[in-house]
Amino acid sequence: MSVRANGGVELEIERDRLAPGDSICGRVTPRLHVSAVDLVRVESSPTATLEFTAASVSPTSDGSFSLPVPADAPPSVSGRACALVWRVRVRTGDQPTHSDPRRTLEIECPS
């Protein structure tokens, strides 16, 4: 499961379904252009789409990362007009941009 951005940064994650408290493990390449890997909560409604950074880590020298899913993270949901989704975003600068690679994943309800 990988995605490549215009700048040539590739994002790979091991799993795209996780539970609160799990860790998102993966790798980014090339490492030199990556500032951070973020877990982003995206809330969409008919009037707006808002993004909130829930967790952030710097990749190691080999490009691997382990990003914690907060224990109180709400599950991914989608309705007719509103949705809450989670994405892993690779920031290639200090601030996020639309060209940063992103991958949607699912946070499941804890059992």
Neighbour-count burial for 92-110, b at 16+ CB within 10 Å, e otherwise: beeebeeebbbbebebeee
Cβ atoms of residues 70 and 53 within 8 Å: no
Answer yes or no: is pLDDT of 3 > 60: no
- The pairing of strands 23-29 and 77-78 is unpaired
Average pLDDT over residues 21-34: 87
Answer yes or no: is pLDDT of 24 > 90: yes
More confident residue, 57 or 31: 57
Domain ranges of the chain: 2-101
pLDDT confidence of residue 111? 67
Tell me the pLDDT tens digit for each residue of 51-81.
999 999 999 989 999 999 999 999 999 999 9
Tell me the two tokens of residue 42: 């995206």
**Is residue 19 within a helix (H) or strand (E), and if so which, with residue range?**
none
Tell me the two tokens of residue 59: 């990749």
CATH architecture of the domain with range 2-101: Sandwich (2.60)
Burial label, 56 (beta-carbon count in 10 A; 0-12, 13-18, 19+): middle
